[in-house]
Amino acid sequence: MLRPRIDVVLLTMNDRPEEETAAQATLLAQTGVDLRICVVGNGCTPEIVPAGALTVTLEENLGIPGGRNAGARALAEAGRAGEYLFFLDNDATFPTDDVLARLVTAAEHHPEAGYVQPRLTGPDDTTTPRRWVPRLRTSDPGRPGTITTMTEGVVLIRRAAFDAAGGWADPFFLFHEGLDLAQRIWARGATGWYAAGIRMHHPLTSPTRHALFHRLAARNRVWVAYRNLPAPLIPPYLVLWMTATAIRAVRAGGARESLRGFREGWAGRHEQDRQPMSWRTVLRLTAAGRPPII
């Protein structure tokens, strides 16, 4: 019996060698699947590369979506592409040797799903921040089900769904590229599945550690809306997110940079690849528990 073929893209800036070594070791230990690995140096030459892996050296940092797209293209150009793509953060680890095989099994049990998301936890195998639960109802991260967004750094995507959706949104650089890709996959008739019983580990970091967080998160929210929503839904979406951002800024700061990001996003919206989803997709997302204005 043929084993599932998975193409794995791992992005690096050579900035966390210990974590990356651990990530690759647990990746190479995966059983029951055939792997091809591409390590992408985002503005650098990769220094930690498994034997036999492809490498891509990007002369400049293209951001996370651009770097991952470069890896996916390199794997496709290297020969017969795998049925699945797996995108792996270079500080994420597989706690057991059957994670990828179990994710493929979940995908086979849910053929309607264009992507399958494991439950991401801290190294303690238990703690799951709310932002890592890819659905609105986050109180029980152990409950599986259909999802409408994704946690980008540990996700299995069918190659056909990824290519049909056009891959990651290069212009985003960082933040919300998973929401954008998920909506484009849904717009083409597929769904997403949260395989909550399958865990992966990641350091418990905060996105606000990035100096560009507030600006890019706000900018990309505008672009997600403009790229994917029917025109009548764009204003309520942006009003809701600007209100939520203002409330959060009272507690955590970042109001000025967020406002700058919203302005930047609005000014640059016409440079984005607008492919508004159908009203049928809006209804499907709503039925799945996430109206696309939320």
CA distance 39 to 69: 12
**Per-residue model confidence as pLDDT tens digits over 237-259:** 999 999 999 998 888 888 999 99
In whole angstroms, what is the distance from residue 43 CA to residue 60 CA? 4
Report d(CA 70, CA 57) in Å as an integer: 9
9-58: per-residue pLDDT in tens?
999 999 999 999 999 999 999 999 999 999 999 999 999 999 999 999 99
Tell me the pLDDT band of 207, cut-offs 50, 70 and 90. Answer: confident
CB distance 87 to 68 below 8 Å: yes
Mean pLDDT of the chain: 94
Q: Token pair of 142, please?
A: 């152990």
- Give 209-234 as a DSSP string: GSTTHHHHHHHHHHHHHHHHS-GGGH
> Between 81 and 1, whose confidence is greater?
81
258-279 per-position pLDDT tens digit: 999 999 999 999 999 999 999 9
Contact 182, 115 (CB under 8 A): yes
Phi, psi dihedral angles at 281 (to 5 degrees): -65, -40
Q: Which residues, at least 6 apart from 2, have a Cβ–Cβ distance to it below 8 Å?
A: none
The predicted model scores a pTM of 0.95
Q: What is the pLDDT of residues 61-115, one digit of tens each?
A: 999 999 999 999 999 999 888 899 999 999 999 999 999 999 999 999 999 999 9
| pLDDT score recorded for residue 1 | 63
- pLDDT per residue over 139-170, tens digit each? 889 999 999 999 999 999 999 999 999 999 99
pLDDT of residue 215: 94
Domains of the chain listed by start with CATH number: 5-205 (3.90.550.10), 210-274 (no CATH)
Question: What does the pLDDT read at residue 37?
Answer: 97
Q: What is the arithmetic mean of pLDDT over 176-180?
A: 96
